Amino acid sequence: MKLRTIVAIALTGIFLASPATASSITLFSGPPPAKTDRSASVPPELPGSPAREMDRDSGMSSDGLALLLWCMSALADGNFRDAQKACSRAIKLDRWNPAPYKLRGASYLFQKRFEQARVDFAYAVGLDPTDPENHAGYAEALRGQGKYRDAIAQFSVAIRLAPTDARMWNARCWTRGAFARELPEGLFDCNTALRLAPGQPDILDSRGLVYLRMGRLDDATRDFGAALRRRPNLATALYGRGVARLKRGDAKGAQADVLRARAADPNVDDIFFWKPLLSLRCLTGIVSDHGWKCRLPKPPMHKIPKGARTAVFR
């Protein structure tokens, strides 16, 4: 089996996952990719990188391969420190092999060390620009830094390279939904992903988020519910359904869902940091099952004076 194939299998979970757990221009007919500066969508040039395409498995030292397998094993076990140690040593032995950069970058993603992940995936892309997962990892790192337009552009490269890979379409859909930008395009992405992988709960969760951002509460509730039937403790789906319930006036149901979401993932609120879906009081007010008081804000009864500054959490 090709080394690249082995690494791809090892990394599958990253690019299927939402930002809660960690995953660009077109060969498809659909909405155009996000506009971005070329410098933002292309990793920095690597001085001295080989110009020719080559099989990265050939010429790899036995010690380098052993270190790479150690790195993959440690990564699978969640031992990120050992994974980084092994991959760093593999890089010293075989500096033109993209696999250890890719794996070390993945370990940084799991630790939310996004700048280090960005650097490693930039090297991986420079060494093997034909691997869609290198671009997806680079996009995940950019997304973690809040650079959503650049992330969308990189996911678009990954989709061009792997147009039948539902993971890439889902990752771009989630990015658009999480940042509340290009929502019709995000819906297109999720629908495409679901055609490729019907019923996949992570994709249903992503589409639910897009529907929620669009104000289509019934559709959002349906998708979140479908995702939860397949994965009952999916924190983002619980949280999203809770927000939808709150917006429909069901404060008790919203409370139950948000509390369950936080029990499943104490950091679930951070996913919506960039454009909060609940008011600040709602985000911080849940102390216990009996101490939560969160209501939608009432509409203003008078016009705000011209020039007045207000802080609004949506």
Claim to verify: residue 146 and residue 229 sit in the same structural domain:
no
Domain span holding position 115: 1-47+56-196
Claim to verify: residue 162 and residue 269 sit in the same structural domain:
no
pLDDT of residue 54: 33
Average pLDDT over residues 113-142: 96
Q: Are 4 and 140 in contact (CB under 8 A)?
A: no
Q: Which two tokens stand for residue 7?
A: 């690494």
Q: What is the CATH number of the domain that holds 113?
A: 1.25.40.10
Claim to verify: residue 192 and residue 109 sit in the same structural domain:
yes
Claim to verify: residue 113 and residue 186 sit in the same structural domain:
yes
Report which of residues 190 and 7 the model is more confident about: 190
pLDDT in tens, 198-226: 999 999 999 999 999 999 999 999 999 99
As a dihedral over the C-alpha atoms of residue 107, residue 109, residue 113, residue 116, rounded to 10 degrees, the angle is 70
Claim to verify: residue 225 and residue 121 sit in the same structural domain:
no
pLDDT in tens, 230-269: 999 999 999 999 989 988 888 889 889 988 998 999 888 7
The tally of domains found in the chain comes to: 2
Q: How many of the other CB atoms lie within 10 Å of CB of 186?
A: 28
Tally the residues of the chain.
Answer: 314
pLDDT of residue 305: 39
pTM of the model: 0.73
Claim to verify: residue 76 and residue 139 sit in the same structural domain:
yes
Give the end of a domain, one of 180, 196, 212.
196
Give the end of a domain, one of 196, 223, 244.
196
pLDDT at 46 over 60: no
Claim to verify: residue 259 and residue 163 sit in the same structural domain:
no
H/E run at residue 26:
none
Claim to verify: residue 98 and residue 217 sit in the same structural domain:
no
Claim to verify: residue 174 and residue 255 sit in the same structural domain:
no
Q: Are 43 and 122 in contact (CB under 8 A)?
A: yes
Q: Are 243 and 278 in contact (CB under 8 A)?
A: yes
Average pLDDT over residues 70-74: 89
DSSP per residue over 272-288, as a string?
A: G-SS-SS-HHHHH---S
Claim to verify: residue 36 and residue 169 sit in the same structural domain:
yes
Confidence of residue 294 (pLDDT cuts 50, 70, 90): low
**Percent of the chain with pLDDT strictly greater than 70:** 67
DSSP state of 303: P
Claim to verify: residue 282 and residue 134 sit in the same structural domain:
no
Tell me how far apart the alpha carbons of residues 133 and 74 are, in angstroms, rounded to a whole number: 20
Claim to verify: residue 208 and residue 104 sit in the same structural domain:
no
